[in-house]
A and B are shown apart, each in its own frame.
With several copies, the nearest count.
Chain A
């Protein structure tokens, strides 16, 4: 599903990833961990093409996406559900619309939208907040809306960047349980986090980054 071959990413004054190679099979659930600033978010950004790699090749579903034409980018992105570290909610839309947008962008029939959005909101326990606006939500609630939006369209690949940074351990466990269920139904899932409790005892593969280099791999 995902393959990095000697991928490097340089920002103006900083090298965020240094000749990184790894691959994730279709249907796998993998954790990426590492200290703050080690390049976890950058790695995910290279997959949904928010940034392009400076060296090496990135393959997603067999496509070499790093040299992908601009016009194909939205097609790629619609196959992926992303939980952004900074949430990226739309602050002038209700919670319902914030989740529904993922379906609308994919052209899902309007009659299906309501049921699927409410299902997704129920999973993150926020069904009762569907009419609120994001700024009237707590930090953890906003993060859960971001999760609901990432999973509602049932994408084949889910990238979650620190998806439990603002929620309590019980809610975290619930979220990981949800990801595992979705993974069991066939979706590939990549989670960047430094919350060890998340991957402890999951039996899933864990990749450890440090200063832009892979420094270890293990089973959570």
Chain B
């Protein structure tokens, strides 16, 4: 059987019942749209929680007795550690200026102090991907053995809660993504299945006339593909419009949205996903053809 013929049959069948086919297209569009929105949301939340570790650092308060060269070798040693990203030296004078700035209107508190009571300190930023309660424990244990450090401080609580937030967010996001995608894929499949249900008699007639499985299936696969791709295109257009009408406008008043990431690949993937779903849906919907 020639492919152009199958195409003609599929197109004529699509047009012959255009409203119900358009309805199916819209339903698939909605399924794909929500999968895309969830994907985007989960992805962006993940991006945002990835940025959080930047705020984390380990502070080393140094003994006043340490000479400048000793400090330099200390810093150099820390830099060697594989989990360390960047190291800053904060001289005691700078720390004092910062404290003053923090106290702002009440800085007169410090006026009574003759001398700067703050120590020199070193701030350590860790590599984001290696950041976790264990790696920090290991590093601090090593640093404790070093001479010249009077105290080590890091936000243990912050680190722990940051970690649980990230894990929680990612788990919830993933669960949500899986549940929703499964649901939406099921909806796409179910739409094609219910749509093709009434074609049973048609398929039976084809079989009785002696048509091969391929001959019977091809037009239906094309129909499924057209409905799926159509749905994908509609969802793609809707997503772009939603982006421009809401996210784009809202980001003026709500700058957090500005940093959201909308990968172009996703937009292009929607019609492709629709195509695949449509064909797969049609294959499953028609089922095994038995003579």
Binding site for B on A (CB under 8 A): 48-50, 70-71, 73-78, 80, 82, 84, 88-90, 92-93, 97, 101-102, 104-107, 110
6 contacts between A and B (CB under 8 A): A74-B210, A77-B209, A82-B208, A92-B16, A102-B209, A110-B2
B203 → chain A, closest Cβ, in Å?
A: 11
Binding site for A on B (CB under 8 A): 1-2, 5, 9, 12-13, 16-17, 202, 205-212, 215, 290-291
Q: Is the CB of A90 within 8 A of B1?
A: no
Q: Is the CB of B1 within 8 A of A107?
A: yes
B contacts with A: majority SS: helix
B124 → chain A, closest Cβ, in Å?
A: 71
Name the 3 nearest CB pairs between A and B, nearest first. A77-B210, A73-B291, A78-B210
Q: Which of B17, B206, B291 contacts A92 (CB 8 A)?
A: B17
Q: Which of B2, B5, B291 contacts A74 (CB 8 A)?
A: B291
- B12 contact set on A, CB distance < 8 A: 92-93, 97
A47 → chain B, closest Cβ, in Å?
A: 12
Instruction: Give complex CA distance A107, B209 in Å.
Output: 13
- A48 contact set on B, CB distance < 8 A: 208
- A49 contact set on B, CB distance < 8 A: 291
- B202 contact set on A, CB distance < 8 A: 90, 92
- B211 contact set on A, CB distance < 8 A: 74, 105
Q: Is the CB of A77 within 8 A of B208?
A: yes
A99 → chain B, closest Cβ, in Å?
A: 11
Q: Give 19 A-B pairs besides A75-B210, A77-B207, A105-B210 with Cβ atoms closer than 8 angstroms.
A: A50-B208, A70-B291, A71-B291, A74-B210, A76-B210, A77-B210, A78-B210, A84-B208, A88-B205, A90-B202, A92-B13, A92-B17, A93-B9, A97-B12, A101-B209, A102-B209, A104-B215, A105-B215, A107-B1
Instruction: Give complex CA distance A101, B206 in Å.
Output: 9
Q: Is the CB of B208 within 8 A of A104?
A: no
B14 → chain A, closest Cβ, in Å?
A: 10
- B212 contact set on A, CB distance < 8 A: 74, 105
Interface centre among A78, A80, A92 (most CB of B within 10 A): A92
Instruction: Give complex CA distance A209, B215 in Å.
Output: 37
Instruction: Give complex CA distance A76, B206 in Å.
Output: 14
Instruction: Give complex CA distance A107, B5 in Å.
Output: 11
Q: Which of B13, B16, B208, B215 contacts A88 (CB 8 A)?
A: B208
Instruction: Give complex CA distance A48, B205 in Å.
Output: 12
- A71 contact set on B, CB distance < 8 A: 291
A58 → chain B, closest Cβ, in Å?
A: 15
Closest to A70 in B: B291
Closest to B211 in A: A105
Instruction: Give complex CA distance A105, B94 in Å.
Output: 87
Instruction: Give complex CA distance A74, B209 in Å.
Output: 8
Q: Is the CB of A70 within 8 A of B1?
A: no
Instruction: Give complex CA distance A71, B12 in Å.
Output: 29
Instruction: Give complex CA distance A71, B5 in Å.
Output: 23
- A73 contact set on B, CB distance < 8 A: 291
Instruction: Give complex CA distance A124, B206 in Å.
Output: 22
B208 → chain A, closest Cβ, in Å?
A: 6
Q: Is the CB of B290 within 8 A of A105?
A: no
Closest to A110 in B: B2
- A76 contact set on B, CB distance < 8 A: 210
